[in-house]
Structure 1
Amino acid sequence: MKILIANTLYYPDMVGGAEISTQILAEGLVAAGVEVCVVCATGSGSDRVSELNGVKIYHLRFANLYWPHQPKKRSPLAKLVWHAIDVHNVLMARKIKKIVAREKPDLISTSNLSCLSIGIWRMANESGVPIVHTVRDYYLMCPTSKMLSHNKSCEQQCAMCARYAGPKRTASQRVDAVIGVSQFVLQKHIDNGFFAGASSTGVISDCYLPMKSATSNATPAIYNGGAVRLGVLGRISPEKGIEVLLDALLSDSSLEWSLSIGGTGDAAYLAELKARYTDPRVRFLGHVVPAAFLQSIDILVVPSKWNEPFGRVTVEAYSYGVPVVGANTGGIPEVIEPDSYLIFDINQPHTVIDKITEAIELLNNSGIRKRLLDYAETFSPDAMVGAYLDLYNAALKAASRRAPAVASVSTP
């Protein structure tokens, strides 16, 4: 089997979870005996080919007004033109067409396609190559990929986004099988008319990162009462709900706690948070090593206000035996360990205190750490790769059944 994977970024251009998951998938497939090549965009240098851990990587120099992964503000007009080009990026489509013709993959697996081209679906369809697409964000529905306005999730597409999404919705009908990293993000697309031609749909969750820290074999300190060590880990931005958590904690007198906040974000927003929340129990740590951070806390809190498609940090915490209290937004409830179900209502912030209290009670259960570690295994890299292998094989079998039979010709 030969798989071509297309994703906006790939190592060493790493921005978020999509790139991490794509690399784990590609290298896991290679380890399983699959031939894999990856097509990605890059903001530097020229078109080039590299190889890493058995994966052949086509780095395609982007063809648009600017590279969007640079922290620089753009004018509304520049953004409008950029997205207009990105919808049907003819120059990138031509590059990808040559790669598809050269590699002749048995199946094409697409993910984030910003900076590349949705034209890859047409090419695959015309060549009779089955297409599997993974929905990791809202790129097909919203120019920002977040469906977020004024730090609040959009419950439905606005008129501008609906126009933007029209060509992508039409193109998505060519996809044979579609996967969501959560049922929430998958259903959001299906409800808006995407992937109507897909013969199969399903959910394959992203996985946690294997332990790589020097302290990865260390056992976290066991909670023995007193102030509970809470933690928030990830990018610090308004939609992540840190203020919701802080306000709830500071207005409550029933808990003893400390809160460590690991991560970076916009400098002005960080300065505003530090000036507003000066309580000595709150510590802003900046960039941290996730393994060491997760081993230093008792409970992780994920208070996102926006509809996160998945939230890898939750399963990472479970892989260290750490309970997670999460908001009832996006795909987060699907990932929270079902037996504990530590989910609070983001529209009733005081409920986070109730769930933290329940989590503290869990900490007193001697079997909780093993239970969470066992649950984390359902999100292991091997589990994710195995699920994709099953899906790819099923898609190839379905494609072979659809292919027209070739009549045999006897020679006299």
Structure 2
Amino acid sequence: MRVVLINSLYTPHIIGGAEISTQILAEALAEAAEVHVLTLGGQQRREGITREKIRGVTVHRLPHNSLYWIGQAKRRSVLARTARRLTDLYNPLQIKAVKERLEAIRPDLIHTQNLSGFGAAVWTANASLGVPIVHTLRDYSLLSPVSSPIGNPALARLYAMTSSGFSRKVSAVVGISSHILKRHTDAGLFADAAGLVIPNAVEGEISAAERDFERKPLRIGYFGRIEPEKGVRELVEAALPLPPAVVERIVVCGEGSLKQELQDLCRDDPRFVFPGKVKPAEARSLMARTDANFVPSIWEEPFGRVIIESYQVGTPVYASAVGGIPDAVWNPDEFLFKPGSAAAIRAKILDFHDLSGEEKRRIQQQCVRHCRKFTQASLLEKHLDLYGRMLSGNREFAARAVYGQVN
């Protein structure tokens, strides 16, 4: 089987979880299929396509053919980003380039991922081949040219109308969470596609270290961007009034526009530590040394990768009940809280503090068991099953509301 994956960027150009997840999928598939990735490079059109082999995957980097390459680190204005995304509505140069590559590779199946820089119209490049197209929803970029569709409702409606027409070319649509799948289908996209949920695989050794579960006070952590929509301010406000007998250390790991403001807010409280952005191995080490981690996002996260990463090192997670987060959390009835509420976060800290050591040990065991459902082996099995059904003409799927809690 020959499969072509299409994604805006590919390693070593990584700006978010979508690139990581696409690489994990490509390398998993390479064990069972011939895998090609079409992605965008920083070169101009006259420089042509570059090709390379990365861990068994053939990577074709096409010229970006747009106002600028999204892999550039330079921060662009909202106007510039909106203008570039609007060119995605129909970019004939990009469609032609993809069509030529597809006709040269002649895949059995096309699997698109994030399409920023390509645009949804790239699905029309398959017309001469007529092979099945699968699309995985990893963000909201088909619904809005900038940020979350919630923040741009009028623009989102206009943008979604265009995306929905092209989405009729797609045979099956995969959501990395039930929430992101529902948000797109509710907006009218993928009306003719079979839909299902396949969560991301999260790489990492599952190694929950033994710890002193009876130990108090608590050490709690946050790992991610320090931005308003991530709910970090609410976490800090929740922990500040709690006495050292309840919380002895709060690790806020990451960078972002709120970092300095929150450091100033906590300057007289030595319990707060801001290590900045650290390497993945160091982040895992810090996660393993906390008693509980928090994911207090306010915006609709498509998935909750950091939740699974925390489970892999044996640390439970309390998280806000928003977006795709409930799909990732073990025992959502106990470990979810209302988004945007410092009081709700504080209540969860106190709840965890009051648990016995034996209860905390049981929770760790359950979290470790839960994270095994998000492995590369599981990802490969589910995608090969999906591809097999597509190639055999069987497109009848039932979308799962939740992965992990409902089987």
TM value normalised by structure 2: 0.89
Q: Secondary structure at the match of 1:108?
A: strand
* Counterpart residue type for residue 168 of structure 1: S
Deviations 1:101-137 (A, max 9, x none): 0111010001100012323311224422101100011
Mapped contact 1:207–1:315 kept (Cα < 8 A): no
- 1:277 Cα offset (Å): 2.1
**CA 1:104–1:363 in structure 2 vs 1: closer, same or farther (change >3 Å)?**
farther
Residue number among 184, 198, 202 corresponding to 1:204 in the alignment: 198
Deviations 1:151-186 (A, max 9, x none): xxxxxx622221222221110111110010111011
- 1:71 Cα offset (Å): 4.2
Residue 255 of structure 1 aligns with which residue?
Answer: 246
* Partner Cα distance (2:320, 2:133) in 1: 34
Mapped contact 1:7–1:39 kept (Cα < 8 A): yes
Residue number among 236, 241, 260 corresponding to 1:246 in the alignment: 236
Residue 359 of structure 1 aligns with which residue?
Answer: 352
* Partner Cα distance (1:362, 1:119) in 2: 56
5+ residue gaps, structure 2:
397-407
Deviations 1:229-263 (A, max 9, x none): 10101122111101011111123448334110111
Q: Secondary structure at the match of 1:12?
A: coil
Residue 325 of structure 2 aligns with which residue?
Answer: 332
Residue 234 of structure 1 aligns with which residue?
Answer: 224
Mapped contact 2:214–2:356 kept (Cα < 8 A): no
Residue 410 of structure 1 aligns with which residue?
Answer: none
Q: Secondary structure at the match of 1:207?
A: coil
* Partner Cα distance (2:395, 2:230) in 1: 45
* Partner Cα distance (1:113, 1:70) in 2: 16
Residue number among 128, 140, 143 corresponding to 1:141 in the alignment: 143
Q: Secondary structure at the match of 1:350?
A: helix
Mapped contact 2:96–2:125 kept (Cα < 8 A): no
* Counterpart residue type for residue 263 of structure 1: G
1:191 aligns with 2:193: no
Q: Secondary structure at the match of 2:301?
A: coil
- 1:272 Cα offset (Å): 1.8
* Partner Cα distance (2:131, 2:169) in 1: 11
Mapped contact 2:103–2:129 kept (Cα < 8 A): no
Report matched runs for 1:3-402 at 5 Å. 3-31=3-31, 33-44=32-43, 46=47, 47-75=49-77, 77-147=79-149, 149=151, 158-198=153-193, 200-211=194-205, 219=209, 221-253=211-243, 255-266=246-257, 269-278=258-267, 279-288=269-278, 289-338=282-331, 341-360=334-353, 361=355, 364-365=358-359, 366-398=361-393
- 1:73 Cα offset (Å): 4.3
**CA 1:388–1:362 in structure 2 vs 1: closer, same or farther (change >3 Å)?**
farther
**CA 1:17–1:231 in structure 2 vs 1: closer, same or farther (change >3 Å)?**
same
Query: What is the percent sequence identity of the aligned residues?
Result: 34
Mapped contact 2:160–2:187 kept (Cα < 8 A): no
- 1:393 Cα offset (Å): 0.8
- 1:296 Cα offset (Å): 1.7
* Counterpart residue type for residue 284 of structure 2: A
Deviations 1:282-301 (A, max 9, x none): 11011222221222211110
5+ residue gaps, structure 1:
150-156, 402-412
**CA 1:400–1:277 in structure 2 vs 1: closer, same or farther (change >3 Å)?**
closer
- 1:75 Cα offset (Å): 4.7
- 1:357 Cα offset (Å): 3.2
Mapped contact 2:208–2:314 kept (Cα < 8 A): no
Mapped contact 1:106–1:130 kept (Cα < 8 A): yes
Mapped contact 2:37–2:58 kept (Cα < 8 A): yes
* Partner Cα distance (2:382, 2:294) in 1: 28
Mapped contact 1:342–1:359 kept (Cα < 8 A): no
Q: Secondary structure at the match of 2:275?
A: strand
* Counterpart residue type for residue 157 of structure 2: A
Mapped contact 1:63–1:92 kept (Cα < 8 A): yes
- 1:55 Cα offset (Å): 0.5
**CA 1:294–1:270 in structure 2 vs 1: closer, same or farther (change >3 Å)?**
same
TM value normalised by structure 1: 0.88
**CA 1:139–1:76 in structure 2 vs 1: closer, same or farther (change >3 Å)?**
closer
Mapped contact 2:230–2:299 kept (Cα < 8 A): yes
**CA 1:241–1:309 in structure 2 vs 1: closer, same or farther (change >3 Å)?**
same
Mapped contact 2:389–2:395 kept (Cα < 8 A): no
* Partner Cα distance (2:167, 2:251) in 1: 42
Runs of 4+ deviating beyond 4 Å: none
Q: Which region of structure 1 is more displaced relative to structure 2, 43-52 or 137-146? A: 43-52
Mapped contact 1:221–1:295 kept (Cα < 8 A): no
- 1:95 Cα offset (Å): 1.1
* Counterpart residue type for residue 242 of structure 1: V
Mapped contact 2:178–2:197 kept (Cα < 8 A): yes
- 1:362 Cα offset (Å): 6.7
- 1:10 Cα offset (Å): 0.7
**CA 1:140–1:362 in structure 2 vs 1: closer, same or farther (change >3 Å)?**
farther
**CA 1:295–1:346 in structure 2 vs 1: closer, same or farther (change >3 Å)?**
same
* Partner Cα distance (1:377, 1:342) in 2: 18
Q: Which region of structure 1 is more displaced relative to structure 2, 161-170 or 3-12? A: 161-170
